[in-house]
Structure 1
Amino acid sequence: MESGLLKVYDAHLHLEAMVSREDGKIDWDRAKALVESWQMSGVEGVLAVSVDRPSSERTLELKERFPGFVFAALGEHPERPLSPEREFCSLLDLIRSERGRISAIGEVGLPHYHRKDQKPLALERLRIWSSLSRELSLPLALHAVYEGAEEALWVLREEGVTKAHFHWLKAAEEVVVEILAAGYHISVTPEVCYRKRARELARQVRGKGFPLLFETDGPWPYEGPFRGEPSDPSWLSKVVCCTAEAVGEEAAPLAHEGAETFRFLFGRAFQA
């Protein structure tokens, strides 16, 4: 690796979605090529999140194949149809049985963009996820934006969750302050390179003296300088540099602090 590269971690990536074939199996040649290219660009590891039971199983396969690089998070995405009770309980059992191999529970949270009709059930399940987080001492990888961020924060506090990452957060300034005060973590995405809202969030977090995580949420597409390109963790060095410019800091210390925060939050995988 070249000495000038920033060492970074992607705190939220749908890896299994990027390497799965139409038949639901993993394309291992593609997975290997992607991981190697990311490592060459300075990426030290990724938190690979899941959206349901089948994707959780694929995420575990990816962790087994790339144990020092893939940090597994198992969960159920709240913007997708929530699973029937039996499948949901099966996913809970899987997480308990694989506790030693996973780094987080996620992606879980509350719907905002789609399926608002299932929000009561999503709230009920967020309480279950929060209880499981406390039971297994695993952080939550959260999808909770706008009014959902405050609702999720309320649930996490009530349930005694100690570690959580509010990924790609969009929330009122006072809610951001409360999230940070509760000891939870916030990240920036490639939007920080072209969107005022993302730069303001970065300045708010750093202005309060808190660290930032960095994520791509790949394969989610972006605008600005990334328009038309496949979302890629190799962008993270640029994301760190854009963040550094926005907050008036040097990129290398910002990347280092982000890496330390990643290891603190998802550090179980370093012991696996």
Structure 2
Amino acid sequence: MPSSIVHPCGCPRCRADEPHAGRALLVGNDREEHVFALAQSLELYDLYQDKVAACDTRIEAVLKRLRAAAAKPTAKLPPARHATKQPNAPAFDARVALHAILGVDLTQIHGLGPSLALKLVGECGTDLSAWPSAKHFTSWLCLAPSNKISGGKVLSARTRRSGSRAAALLRLAATTVGRTETALGAFYRRLSARAGKAKAVTATARKIAVLFYNALRHGMDYVDPGAAYYEERYRHRVLTNLQRRAKSLGYVLQEAGAESVGVS
């Protein structure tokens, strides 16, 4: 039986043996203008690949210069969370280069891969002392509520519109982390079910921005507590609020399975 290979189109359902696949590649009925257009597209693809490679080389040279001027990191680089290489990732190891400059591994924050972390540092810089706190940083990114208050009443708490590329990158990270079994992922899914995906993306992006700020400004090492930990904390918080409200009304909450004590 002839061995089967995946068809050149890349579709897993389209299979053929090697001789048929080879003939399909070499023989065709394309017209002259089609072949010309295909050759033009291939030349443009090769040109853009060369330009991307030149950009990677320039970025790597800049990072080497910054690495030489920065202090040596005291902490050892932790193992990578993902072994697979991301599509369109830089030709060099951006994770190692950033750790040598910053002294922290930003990719330990869920949602931040090496490429996205490199872009964020490029947008915000390596020194975040211009923002006194994480609240100032998230406000600058327009990820924090912009409260409009009149006469002690909150008229609006919507976030401001922004063209910040850093905020767009953090929103992308929030969308990615929403599919993970992490504390941030559990937060995203719960808020998405209650308030909608748009607000969940913004709120999760703000949380990632706070973690990014604390890691870069204060050298915080992020350790994910897990989705189960977040759900347990959420349950405990809801139960505490219910007990306090019941007590204020003169009642006592009792577990559904608990036996009630009768009064004779």
TM-score greater than 0.5 by the shorter chain: no
Larger radius of gyration: 2
The answer to which structure, 1 or 2, has the higher relative contact order (CA under 8 A, 6+ apart) is: 1
- Larger strand proportion of the pair: 1
